[in-house]
Structure 1
Amino acid sequence: MKKRVLFLFIIFSVNISVSQERKLNKAQGTVIEPQDSLLNKDLSRKSKSRNIEKPETVITDYLIISHKNDTTFVDTTLTILKEYKFNYLRKDNFGLMPFSNLGQTYNSLTYNFENTSLMPSFGARARHFNYMEIQDINYYRVPTPLTELLYKSAFEQGQLADSFFTVNTSPQFNFSIAYKGLRSLGKYQHLLTSTGNFRFTTNYQTKNKRYVARAHMVTQDLLNQENGGLQDIMVENFENGVEEFLDRSILEVNFENAENILKGKRFHLEHTYNIINKKDSLSKNKLSIGHIISLKDKSFQYDQSSANTSFFGTAFSSSKFRDRVTLENLYNQLQLNFSNNIIGDLQFNISNNNYNYGYNKVVVLNGNTIANRLKGDVFSAGGKYHKQFKKFELHGELGLNVSGDFEGNFIKAHATFKLNNDLSATASLNHSSKAPNYNALLYQSNHVNYNWQNNFNNTETQQLAFQLKSKKIANILVDYSTITDHTYFKRDSTGIPEGEFVPIKPFQNNKTISYLRVKLEKEIKVGKFALHNTVMYQNTQDENKVLNVPELTTRNTIYYASHVFKKAMYLQTGVTFNYFTAYNMNAYDPLLAEFYVQTEKEYGNFPRLDFFINAKIRQTRIYLKAEHFNSAFTGYNYFAAPNNPYRDFTVRFGLVWNFFM
């Protein structure tokens, strides 16, 4: 019955989308006009008789404004980059290794140590891949109401859906509302995922543009059942491809009575008032004051019906328990902005973070008291600079904590030179000193070994990067980073007798790590065929082997693309090859929701082949993919983390549907 309903929905979607007439604007793109029905023809005749010209609305009028005020427009085309972004995160996940079920975590195959944060981050980082931060929220300006619907099949029972609507009630006021929801049972025992991301945004400006404001509200809940991965004996059955266990629900897991959930709420407002406003391009000065206020409330919770001492070690209570940690943070920033045609754009700001992180109990362990709260105020000062002169553009940003319990500072600068419409080069420099994440500083749990309070040094990073962008040549990114006092999780066998449980604890590396990345992206087209290549080389100089990455990661897609059926449909079909070399892949701890370093076994060195057929009919993009179709004949050695297999062969379907009213 469900399949029939889904089929009817698809047919209905395609029929409706075909019926929406769109004319092509020669310069920019699609003209959003209704089909010429009899009523429209009558109205057209009346308009002509009155000498009234109806303005055309083009796709470039539907604006998307990023957190950094970069503006793009709604893109309804079907490209290979759209294929890469049609996933749970809705962004290119190159460099991420997904777990078996949709909505689980990702193992990181690469890292970017550029940072402009002055405060510690909340823990449970493995749960944050789908957690929408301030920089992930966009704002909109549209001439007519815009709707986007996304659907994608999940694993076993469930589906992924993302619905979005935005409208300008006037040229000055816009709001948008969106919700992304997922429910997926998964192929293995006790692996249900259920997530939701609700977003509401608004932006407003007065008619004279002196006052501008934008705000958003986001509520998120990301729930995962946890099973601790396959039992060791079951790993052997998986790797050997034992026929009995090709039904993955038969494979035994470490436990079936736990789940964790990350919840978050955020209320964010940015507004500015122009004291001296530029009236035209000849004006030299502009002066404005700005204010940002952001309130976030986050919690991470781990529930288990009974303590699993063989997996996590001894516990204070063997019965049902709950570990829960919360963070409340109120951020305020005051800005003074000055622009001058000669000097450029300057900003001076002062900020305050009022934070409250911790638990509702105090733990005494081996005579040592572990506090339950980290709270206080941190005051910061900073500035920004921007200047564009002909083909040269310069950006600079800095920040410094001047008082409070957390020290921190950062400096970021990058310069871009645009040689022509195709070729541009960017050089950037970033220095950062920031306290480790909250869960490395303070953690409490029902399990004895998961209780600590540390006084770690700041992690210091320096990064030098160079980027070349060119469709004719290639997109090339090179960055070199050094990391001092890197914080990580690892099993600590110090003082543990052989054969007994080895606990996981946070550590700080006492050596400086050198980390080089070289990434190349290039598409080669011959007629209607194309080969899109993304290749990354990585090298680490790390005596303690705490930052482990594959030396080579590659994604290569060969595909065919053309209009068919008298250009009524645009078709795209091909095969994507994913591969990374073997390395000491990080393991996953479900209680912390963190990855930890392991050096016992290498994982990787397996190919992943995906066959896809995509189509575009008017404003509807349809996606059909046979994922990992080579799984049965290239060996069962594919893991997303130790004891956590990657996905078997599966066929999935989805679509993205835009409405322009």
Structure 2
Amino acid sequence: MKKNLLLIVFCLIGIQTFSQLKTVDGGFAAPRTGQGLGDRRVDSLGGEIDVLLSGKTKYTDYKIISHKNDTTIVDTTLTIQKYYKFNFLRKDNFELLAFHNQGQTFNRLGYDFGKTSVIPDIGFAAKQFNYFNIEDVDYYYVPTPTTEIMYRTGLEQGQVLDALFTVNFSKRLNIAVAYRGLRSLGAYRRSLASTGNFRFTFNYESPKGQYAIRGHAVNQDFLNQESGGLTETALTAFLNDDPNFSSDRGRLDVNLNDAESNLEGKRLYFEQTYKILSSKDTVNDKDFSNLKVGHSFTRDSKFFEFKQNTASDFFDLNRISGSVSNKTNYLVYDNQLFLDFNSKYVLGKFRVRSGYTTYNYGYENLQNNLVDIQNNRLKGDAISFGADWRGKVKNFHINASGTLIPGSGRLSGNDLKAEAFYKKDSVFSIKAKLRINNKSPDFNFLLNQSNYNKFNWENNFSNIGARVLGGEFNSKWGNASLDITNIDNYTYFKEDGTPEQHGGNINYLKAKVSKEFKFWKFGFDNTIMYQKVASGSDVLRVPEFVTRNTLYYQDNWFKGNPLLVQIGATFKYFSEYKANAYNPLLGDFTIQNNTEIGYPTVDLFFNGRVRRTRIYFKADNISSFFFKKDYLSAPNYPYRDFVIRFGVVWNWFI
């Protein structure tokens, strides 16, 4: 996949691009495409877009449609929030603690249990921060061909490039091709990261809007050299700031010298609807209208492999000698049938659905040293039932979704999501939310095989139950959120890397407040998070306080305002806590009781915007010159030293 990167770039040059957006109303059905092209040149958003448009077409017709059919429109402005998202994930990583090299994993500074799926995954969660799930893939409508290029330098050698091209062949048919490629050597031994995310999407609607279909194909791979972290002697040299190693981190010894891990994923997804009854077919369209039948299909496969030329004592003394090649695969098929309609009796849109899901997880063969494991594969199927509702009364909105998978198999469980929110124009909004989820642990907790004897198990764990009650307040005066989570049968990896299910309940509180102050040409953006684990803190570890504060100057420079600049500094701090340890053999994190991590960092930045191009310069961790060298991402894994990074986001609209 990496070899095709340059070809994709050349294909995209000369077309154009998108950026971040604003949410408007959504719906259940496949998205309707917009209006057509034209012949009039319009300069909108203060020079942001310069394209040929008709009198019926404007810049808001450049649309991105999410999986839930929430629509966003083009915005190429330069803001502090976009600066926070300028990383290889392209997400604000406030609640994540990055490892030193981009493309590696993240430790967690906070948890969100409100986004858990009811279907168990393959596991190996530390490898999946950059994974595109179904809900992460967007669809598009654009009046003219549109392209976006995001580029950022790597660490030592390499870079990350995220390229998108989308075009409407007609008012009703859009396709998009996107590729995110990353390769970065890293400053420490055995820290090379090489990843690729290819996405192809399409959406189509028949001339009269009776039939609609959308879908995507995604191919992803994440390759990492695995060092196992610094050796005990090397870690001591790092913490003591030994001058023999401060200028060349590659001289520090690591625990693994020939190991690497690879996660690959392929998915095919489509959703189609057929309109049986439209609004104009009824006498009173407020009673019952827009009746549609639909079908969605998903084929999702994942593959994880950990390789080592020679088995070592680092993981387990009791092992099979020779090379290590642990290969785990996972395949899920999911078919859903649904019925959509609008009605005044449900105050909006309603969907009922039923699905059939099959899964196949495991290994090609049963290893000959496994005397206590009976199965090399876990297989099964299940039928699900569910409903979705989106209601609205003036400024009051209600969204709810429920799924039930009856039975006693590994897929059995239930999921209920509900939220109610009130929005007063652009002044403020208040949201209350509830999530109740009951599902099996991920499959790698249930079955695992390895050349290392300790890492072989077959478990019959109980379902994990999670209940999340929360609320949000967003306004021009500031934003605040509160989540209270209760979990039973929480499943985790112990210090020795074996899985365990917590016998008691976990009570977890997370509160977050953010506010930006502006004075003249200066801005001061602040986010503070407080967390408390009232019970279960021995297995769920989070820092009590996390804060991020950014002071910056923003102004237009030169005659005619051709350049908008941002110059500032970001201070981030999290209090000490026993952060989880990374285990590359598991592709996941384990609890540990020996090392506490918590420290401040300071980054400097200079950002600029020239028309549709945003340029970013960042000096990472300049605080390493004057703060103590105790910055770690996980035990034995140092955070990055001072480094200057450069990047650009470039948009074209033909």
Which amino acid letter does the alignment assign opposite residue 162 of structure 2? D
CA contact (8 A) 1:220 1:264 kept: yes
Q: CA deviation at 1:74?
A: 1.9
Q: How many residues are matched?
A: 613
The match for 1:450 among 451, 455, 472 is 455
Please state if 1:253 is matched with 2:254: yes
Which amino acid letter does the alignment assign opposite residue 323 of structure 1? N
Equivalent position SS for 1:234 = helix
Q: CA deviation at 1:527?
A: 1.1
Q: What residue number does 1:582 align with?
A: 576
Which amino acid letter does the alignment assign opposite residue 51 of structure 2? E
The match for 2:566 among 553, 562, 572 is 572
Q: What residue number does 1:480 align with?
A: 484
Which amino acid letter does the alignment assign opposite residue 437 of structure 2? S
- In the TM superposition, what are the counterparts of 1:97-496 in structure 2 within 5 Å? 97-115=97-115, 117-246=117-246, 247-279=248-280, 283-284=285-286, 285-316=289-320, 318-343=321-346, 344-363=348-367, 367-403=371-407, 405-406=409-410, 407-471=412-476, 473-491=477-495
Please state if 1:596 is matched with 2:597: no
Are residues 481 and 608 of structure 1, via their aligned partners in 2, closer, same or farther at CA, if it must alter by over 3 Å?
A: same
Q: What residue number does 2:62 align with?
A: 62
Which amino acid letter does the alignment assign opposite residue 168 of structure 2? N
TM-score of the two chains, using structure 2 as the length reference: 0.91
CA contact (8 A) 1:115 1:432 kept: no
Q: CA deviation at 1:308?
A: 1.0
Q: CA deviation at 1:543?
A: 4.3
CA contact (8 A) 2:553 2:567 kept: yes
CA contact (8 A) 1:32 1:59 kept: no
Are residues 54 and 443 of structure 1, via their aligned partners in 2, closer, same or farther at CA, if it must alter by over 3 Å?
A: closer
**Structure 2: tracts of 5 or more residues without a match:** 1-8, 18-39
Are residues 624 and 169 of structure 1, via their aligned partners in 2, closer, same or farther at CA, if it must alter by over 3 Å?
A: same
CA contact (8 A) 1:346 1:383 kept: yes
CA contact (8 A) 1:300 1:325 kept: yes
Which amino acid letter does the alignment assign opposite residue 32 of structure 1? D
Equivalent position SS for 2:554 = strand
Which amino acid letter does the alignment assign opposite residue 216 of structure 1? H
Q: CA deviation at 1:208?
A: 1.1
Which amino acid letter does the alignment assign opposite residue 33 of structure 1? V
Equivalent position SS for 2:280 = coil
Q: Provide the C-alpha distance between the structure 2 equivalents of 1:30 and 1:179, rounded to a whole number of angstroms.
A: 24
Q: CA deviation at 1:22?
A: 8.9
Q: CA deviation at 1:453?
A: 0.5
Which amino acid letter does the alignment assign opposite residue 269 of structure 2? H
CA contact (8 A) 2:183 2:193 kept: yes
Equivalent position SS for 2:556 = strand
Which amino acid letter does the alignment assign opposite residue 608 of structure 2? A
Equivalent position SS for 1:368 = coil
After superposition, the CA RMSD in angstroms is 2.1
Q: Provide the C-alpha distance between the structure 2 equivalents of 1:631 and 1:370, rounded to a whole number of angstroms.
A: 52
Which amino acid letter does the alignment assign opposite residue 380 of structure 2? G
Q: What residue number does 1:547 align with?
A: 540
Q: Provide the C-alpha distance between the structure 2 equivalents of 1:54 and 1:466, rounded to a whole number of angstroms.
A: 43
Q: Provide the C-alpha distance between the structure 1 equivalents of 2:376 and 2:113, rounded to a whole number of angstroms.
A: 30
Which amino acid letter does the alignment assign opposite residue 592 of structure 1? L
For residues 548-605 of structure 1, the C-alpha deviation after alignment (integer angstroms, 9 at most, x for no partner) is: 000000111010111111201111110011110000100000001100111222111x
**Structure 1: tracts of 5 or more residues without a match:** 1-8, 35-52, 492-502
Q: Provide the C-alpha distance between the structure 1 equivalents of 2:303 and 2:56, rounded to a whole number of angstroms.
A: 48
**Structure with larger Rg:** 1
Equivalent position SS for 1:131 = coil
CA contact (8 A) 2:153 2:160 kept: yes
Are residues 383 and 160 of structure 1, via their aligned partners in 2, closer, same or farther at CA, if it must alter by over 3 Å?
A: same
Q: CA deviation at 1:315?
A: 1.3
Equivalent position SS for 1:525 = strand
Q: Provide the C-alpha distance between the structure 1 equivalents of 2:425 and 2:63, rounded to a whole number of angstroms.
A: 25
Q: CA deviation at 1:157?
A: 1.3
Equivalent position SS for 2:532 = strand
Equivalent position SS for 1:375 = strand
Q: Provide the C-alpha distance between the structure 2 equivalents of 1:447 and 1:553, rounded to a whole number of angstroms.
A: 38
Q: Provide the C-alpha distance between the structure 1 equivalents of 2:329 and 2:218, rounded to a whole number of angstroms.
A: 17
